[in-house]
Structure 1
């Protein structure tokens, strides 16, 4: 592994020589009491080993009008404190957000010349993906300006929104897109984020106390099991090595990107085949079936039936998910709400030979696993434990511990509920919406976003471990097709 490892450049945010006085653009006009501490989870994402940049790729219907985009961003984006604040070190060395009175948009909007991205035989997706992969091994965002950029790939009618994960999480990003980038014909109407995929179980009062007791015992039992499992994973436990296994240092390896495309209607049809299943259950079933199909091809000698492959899934911990509440995150006084508020759960899937296996069997098994995860407090405790470690043990020790847990898993997966109606940037309709993040120790990361009745899953792989991400994406797409046929 070491032969592939490079040295990721640290951002200037991690340089202790930078203080609030050295980074304040227009600080004389800024309110000295407006400084706000960075949250513990935000601080975690500023550590060199786990520094994360969110890349949100938008395809545009019409040629890009740079002036219109600048005007739009100036009007709707800079009013939010996160996008007009510097990340600085305070008097005691603690990192905090410092409001600045001036943001130079020309430093944040990067216009990419046609010659840089037209080398892939005019394959727009390949060119955009190649451009994105360059970010994985480059330095992060410069800390002498607010931690975001918008890259305009003129030759491909595409924009890449880069946001440091310290600013916020996927739910925050979707609230930004929905509240600020509205459809050209519905400027006064907020796009629908759809119904929440996560619902709390409600107990009918007529069922009696024993239902509450059984639910409580189940919650305690599964929380205990999953917490012990997480601690073991943090210390030494890991799965058997397979053709998709990463590990310590893999976040520095070169990457490749591919996209699996799904119809949201197909996923809704499949989930009806299993009572009380959700879109998240379908996604986990598709990943389980797709990875089994992929490993069948990549492992000629076969793998043991039922082999466990453990990943990490991101879980939004906010109480409300609909747009009426999500749009509130964009209010100027909601800096603490527009943040990282998500937990992680260990997500086991099991290899099964793809031939002769009932396609819906993957979904049924995924539903059992996901139901147990929802019943436990694993996601909530993982968030609280991360905050406690960062607060009381310090960033370096906490990052070292959490990095071990990440290194001992095989993949990362998330599912973000995006706008279900068309959005636009500067009056230019967005035709697709995709998200990925910078590298992690796993060799495989998968981020799915639903947008306007389609769901695109961006797949990032360490190319020396998984050299054919396009084939892997095809395995996922075919897995959903098989489930759809079995559901009829």
Structure 2
């Protein structure tokens, strides 16, 4: 009677199960570590730790000061081509462009500032969206979608600009992709939103406003985005060529807001007037996009 041996398929099945189990375990523990680290950094950033003064951070509250606003527009189809070529997401590409362009401006203004401690706060909407609700429904106790804003901050450290990154701008896109993936494996955003809600209920909206102000004041820039209409709008039968939004009253010298509209993506740069040159900053963002596009597609 011939000897029989177990097939490879029967051995590979438990191996696949064990590998999948180990991946889940690793992801779980790395998520715990990322969450603890992010929450600790968020608390310290709002009270003790602040970014270095740099060409994009004057270091004093400028919420009531004059600001200059400039915009630039990119093709969403072009961004998708870069995304497909690099196998990343649209957010990765845009974040890489902003990080690279910001560091370029800092380096051109002050060579040493390109290695300074610089943090971006990404404003995220955590409000549940489940269709239209009237005001009377939203103000009811324990409403499914209660009245008021629901948001949280995602803290992103901007990588330094070195000679290797300057010669290979795609590194900024890949670094942005790594940062975003790491933040996704963290419950810090959800817990931060819950923390802000609890603080508002216990200590009142003034305490929450002071906490948010401290976090903004200690960081270098703010980034926020929203999805706009995919079809052209009109007002009084006059076609609207473009639109954008900005966040007034923040203490930072630089904020960038992003909105899509009819296959175009507009980046709005709101800068402290007399401190940041809006035209030079805009040219750095546009150069960063061109450099990343050329490196990715050619």
In the TM superposition, what are the counterparts of 1:395-410 in structure 2 within 5 Å?
Answer: 395-410=205-220
CA contact (8 A) 2:222 2:255 kept: yes
CA contact (8 A) 1:330 1:338 kept: no
Per-residue deviation, 1:248: 4.2
Per-residue deviation, 1:316: 2.8
In the TM superposition, what are the counterparts of 1:106-117 in structure 2 within 5 Å?
Answer: none
Match of 2:11 in 1: none
SS at match of 1:245: coil
The alignment status of 1:287 with 2:98, answered yes or no, reads yes
- The one of 418, 431, 446 equivalent to 2:241 is 431
- The one of 364, 369, 384 equivalent to 2:174 is 364
In the TM superposition, what are the counterparts of 1:403-482 in structure 2 within 5 Å?
Answer: 403-466=213-276, 468-482=277-291
The alignment status of 1:329 with 2:138, answered yes or no, reads no
Per-residue deviation, 1:296: 2.2
Distance change >3 Å, CA 400–CA 257, structure 1 → 2? same
TM-score when normalising by structure 2 = 0.84
- The one of 191, 200, 203 equivalent to 1:393 is 203
For residues 413-447 of structure 1, the C-alpha deviation after alignment (integer angstroms, 9 at most, x for no partner) is: 01211122222334433211211121201100110
Per-residue deviation, 1:206: 10
Distance change >3 Å, CA 265–CA 218, structure 1 → 2? same
The alignment status of 1:317 with 2:129, answered yes or no, reads no
TM-score when normalising by structure 1 = 0.53
Per-residue deviation, 1:452: 0.7
Higher fraction of helix: 2
- The one of 160, 163, 178 equivalent to 1:351 is 160
CA contact (8 A) 1:259 1:473 kept: yes
Match of 1:238 in 2: 50
Per-residue deviation, 1:205: 9.2
Match of 1:196 in 2: none
Distance 1:428 1:330 in 2: 30
Distance 1:409 1:305 in 2: 15
SS at match of 1:314: strand
For residues 323-372 of structure 1, the C-alpha deviation after alignment (integer angstroms, 9 at most, x for no partner) is: xx5xx236677643674222111111123157843011110111111111
CA contact (8 A) 1:418 1:451 kept: yes
In the TM superposition, what are the counterparts of 1:61-210 in structure 2 within 5 Å?
Answer: 208-210=20-22
For residues 178-219 of structure 1, the C-alpha deviation after alignment (integer angstroms, 9 at most, x for no partner) is: xxxxxxxxxxxxxxxxxxxxxxxxxx9997433322222121
Distance 1:386 1:248 in 2: 24
- Which structure has more relative contact order (CA 8 Å, sep 6+)? It is 2
CA contact (8 A) 1:317 1:342 kept: yes
Distance 1:410 1:356 in 2: 21
Match of 1:257 in 2: 69
Per-residue deviation, 1:456: 0.8
SS at match of 2:50: coil
List alignment gaps of at least 5 residues for structure 2. Answer: 1-15, 139-144
CA contact (8 A) 2:127 2:149 kept: no
Question: How many equivalent pairs are there?
Answer: 275
List alignment gaps of at least 5 residues for structure 1. Answer: 1-203
CA contact (8 A) 1:329 1:338 kept: no
SS at match of 1:400: helix
- State the superposition RMSD in angstroms: 2.5
Distance 1:304 1:434 in 2: 30
SS at match of 1:450: strand
Distance 1:357 1:420 in 2: 36
